[in-house]
Amino acid sequence: MPKVSVLMPVYKTEESYLREAIESILNQTFSDFEFLILDDCPDDDREKIVKSYKDKRIKYTKNERNLGITPSRNKLIDMAKGEYLAIFDHDDISLPTRLEKEVKFLDENIEYGVVSSWTKHSNKDKIIKHPITDHDIKVALIQNCELAHSAAMVRKSILDDNNIRYEADFSPSEDYRLWFRLAKLTKFHNIPEVLFIYRWHDNNTSISQANKMMNMTWRIRALFKAEFAADYQEFISKAKHTANITLFGFIPFLKIIKQENKTKVYLFEKILLAKIKTSSRLGEK
């Protein structure tokens, strides 16, 4: 039995992207894995590309008909034999030590069910630094999906024992919904290191389905706020609020930034005029 099952759905992936994705997994420093590749386009010719790699860890399957991303992800979970599930998308890049470091973390921290990492976009040098601790991740999830889905590794037992799978009703934000369901069942962690590169191009789901994704995101946030009221209040209290005052409607004059119980006032948006600290009990009755 493999330690890890790498799950990669494929759909009309550009050949160069697909090859780079596959090779990034085959070149991992951790080798005890099965690489499940599920093609959701029966009329496509990606089989030739995948089978050009003579690696016994690759297990290629093609759907008889197009199922869509959510059923395909669930099919991959059901096929997986590994203790851990490494989620991976067909056009992204896992850096060489990704699996090794995520496996090490889950092995050493049995109370954690999900681990991900910091990430980068292929067209930018900036590091996306997600919150690290379980508490900070869960508070941040109220506003953003702060666990990089394609960089994540999940204990399969958490999903199986609680009968949890991706939900098509929340597609294309099914990953955000999954984290929401797991939040009360296990702990989350982000390794503070870039282990994954997200490829940014015009066919990204976050671009091609932006409106639908935003609508689903708001729907999931509403559910999250209702069930995680305490975390939501903490998020609101820590959120940064900014106000700008202009002269004659266009000349920047004052910039006021309020976060938690601290307020800073800037003249012409740059010169610090005042720092104000208020009691956390101010206004309580």
Write out pLDDT tens, residues 197-235.
Answer: 988 755 555 444 556 666 666 666 666 666 666 655 555
Distance in angstroms (rounded) separating the CA atoms of residues 154 and 109: 12
pLDDT tens string for the chain (285 positions)? 999 999 999 988 889 999 999 999 999 999 999 999 999 988 877 889 999 999 999 999 999 898 999 999 999 999 999 999 999 998 899 999 999 999 999 999 999 999 999 999 877 778 999 999 998 898 888 777 889 999 999 999 999 999 999 998 888 788 888 998 898 899 999 999 999 998 875 555 544 455 666 666 666 666 666 666 665 555 555 545 466 777 666 677 777 766 556 777 777 667 787 777 754 433 333
pLDDT at 76: 97
pTM: 0.75
Return the half-sphere exposure (C-beta side, CA atoms, 13 A cut-off) of residue 71: 8
SS3 of the chain: CCCEEEEEEECCCCHHHHHHHHHHHHCCCCCCEEEEEEECCCCCCHHHHHCCCCCCCEEEEECCCCCCHHHHHHHHHHHCCCCEEEECCCCCEECCCHHHHHHHHHHHCCCEEEEEEEEEECCCCCEECCCCCHHHHHHHCCCCCCCCHHHCEEEHHHHHHCCCCCCHHHCCCHHHHHHHHHCCCCEEEEEEEEEEEECCCCCCHHHHCHHHHHHHHHHHHHHHHHHCHHHHHHHHHHCEEEEEEEECCCEEEEEEEEECCEEEEEECCCEEEEEEECCCCCCCC
